[in-house]
């Protein structure tokens, strides 16, 4: 595993003309941040040795290198979801490569349904903590010596970055929520009973990504900041039918707020 990661990193280093310490996963609601990256150069996933291969034809992603403001960044356009059939090693492979490339901080976004009755569609929720509800743990197996066998997770989302993001949001008059993100495998959205269970468990938002990447980033000593865009309501009595299209629409509408907060935070941290 480590050999493969290092092989991939060494291929990328051979192509890289910048030295980013900041990585961004352009999840739902953050896609447009890619257009703000300047002095860009890109590498398609299919050209990168050992990178997971996309399951959707013509839908392969790419790594985008360049500058966001004055910062060198590495952005992943397209992530690998467990529900697509990738195993956890594949889902988190890019994060381990990031560690080999010298990435120190990771910024992530996602779309999520909310179990919190004070949240609304289009809200941004700064992720303060998570619950891992995936059926397979990304660190299962031989420990890669990036970190300990039994990694601490007491501050999976960096408190300093959370505070900075809150003050940026206040300054720019963008309302933000804070809460716990629960990651589950999907691809079904939740039944009302499942939403209720997740609420009882302590979740404010529920989605199908992020948690594996964040666990592996923590193990690799990479600091994390994450935001969920609330795209549907999983609150008893308010649940209506939900489709991917509606999720996408709500995320697109919240995109400018999400992009602003991420851009400013990346620039100032």
Q: Which stretch binds ligand HPA (CB under 6 A): 68-76, 90-98, 143-151, 229-237?
A: 229-237
- State both tokens at 174: 């963008």
Minimum distance from residue 114 beta carbon to ligand HPA (Å): 8
Under rule CB under 6 A, residue 213 binds ligand HPA: no
Report the residue number, 28 or 218, with the smaller CB distance to ligand HPA: 28
Instruction: Give the H or E element holding residue 71.
Output: strand 71-77
Ramachandran region of residue 66, left (φ > 0), alpha (ψ -120 to 50) or beta? left
Report the residue number, 68 or 111, with the smaller CB distance to ligand HPA: 111
DSSP string, 130-183: EEE--SS-TT-SSPPTTS-SS---TTSS-HHHHHHHHHHHHHTT---EEEEEEE
- State both tokens at 219: 């193990």
Report the residue number, 66 or 113, with the smaller CB distance to ligand HPA: 113
Given candidates 25, 206, 217, 227, which one binds ligand HPA under the rule CB under 6 A?
206
Q: Would you give the distance in Å from CA 171 to the centre of its chain?
A: 24
Given candidates 112, 121, 127, 220, which one binds ligand HPA under the rule CB under 6 A?
112
Minimum distance from residue 109 beta carbon to ligand HPA (Å): 12
Minimum distance from residue 231 beta carbon to ligand HPA (Å): 5
Given candidates 8, 89, 116, 231, which one binds ligand HPA under the rule CB under 6 A?
231
Chain residues 113-132 in contact with ligand HPA, contact rule CB under 6 A: 113
Under rule CB under 6 A, residue 228 binds ligand HPA: no
Q: Would you give the distance in Å from CA 163 to the centre of its chain?
A: 19
Q: Would you give the distance in Å from CA 139 to the centre of its chain?
A: 17
For ligand HPA, how many residues bind (rule: CB under 6 A)? 13
CB within 8 Å of 118: residues ≥ 6 apart: 177
Given candidates 66, 207, 212, 226, which one binds ligand HPA under the rule CB under 6 A?
207
Under rule CB under 6 A, residue 212 binds ligand HPA: no
Minimum distance from residue 232 beta carbon to ligand HPA (Å): 5
Under rule CB under 6 A, residue 183 binds ligand HPA: no
DSSP string, 181-245: EEE---SSPPPHHHHHHHHHHT-SEEESSSHHHHHHHHHTT-EEEEEEEEEEE--TT------HH
Minimum distance from residue 238 beta carbon to ligand HPA (Å): 12
Under rule CB under 6 A, residue 258 binds ligand HPA: no
Instruction: Give the H or E element holding residue 111.
Output: strand 105-114
Say how far apart CA 147 and CA 205 lie, in whole Å: 28
Under rule CB under 6 A, residue 111 binds ligand HPA: yes
Residues at the site binding ligand HPA, with contacts judged by CB under 6 A: 111-113, 186, 189-190, 206-208, 231-232, 234, 247
């Amino acid at each position: 595993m480590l050999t493969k990661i290092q092989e991939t990193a060494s291929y990328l280093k051979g192509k890289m003309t910048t030295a980013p310490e900041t990585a961004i996963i352009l999840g739902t609601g953050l896609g447009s941040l890619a257009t703000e990256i300047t002095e860009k150069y890109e590498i398609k996933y299919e050209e990168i040795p050992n990178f997971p291969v996309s399951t959707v034809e013509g839908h392969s992603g790419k790594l985008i290198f360049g500058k966001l403001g004055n910062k060198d960044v590495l952005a992943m356009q397209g992530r690998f979801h467990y529900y697509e059939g990738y195993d956890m090693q594949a889902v988190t492979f890019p994060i381990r490569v990031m560690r080999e490339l010298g990435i120190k901080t990771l910024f992530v976004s996602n779309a999520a349904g909310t179990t919190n009755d004070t949240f609304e569609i289009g809200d941004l929720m700064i992720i303060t903590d998570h619950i891992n509800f995936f059926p397979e743990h990304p660190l299962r197996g031989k420990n890669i010596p990036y970190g300990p066998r039994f990694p601490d997770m007491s501050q999976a989302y960096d408190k300093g970055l959370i505070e900075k993001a809150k003050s940026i949001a206040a300054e720019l008059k963008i309302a933000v929520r804070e809460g716990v993100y629960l990651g589950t495998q999907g691809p079904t959205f939740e039944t009302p009973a499942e939403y209720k269970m997740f609420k009882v468990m302590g979740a404010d938002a529920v989605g199908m990504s992020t948690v594996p990447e964040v666990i592996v980033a923590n193990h690799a000593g990479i600091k994390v900041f994450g935001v969920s865009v609330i795209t549907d309501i999983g609150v008893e009595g308010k649940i209506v039918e939900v489709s991917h299209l509606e999720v996408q629409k709500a995320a697109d509408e919240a995109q400018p707020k999400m992009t602003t907060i991420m851009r400013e935070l990346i620039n100032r941290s």
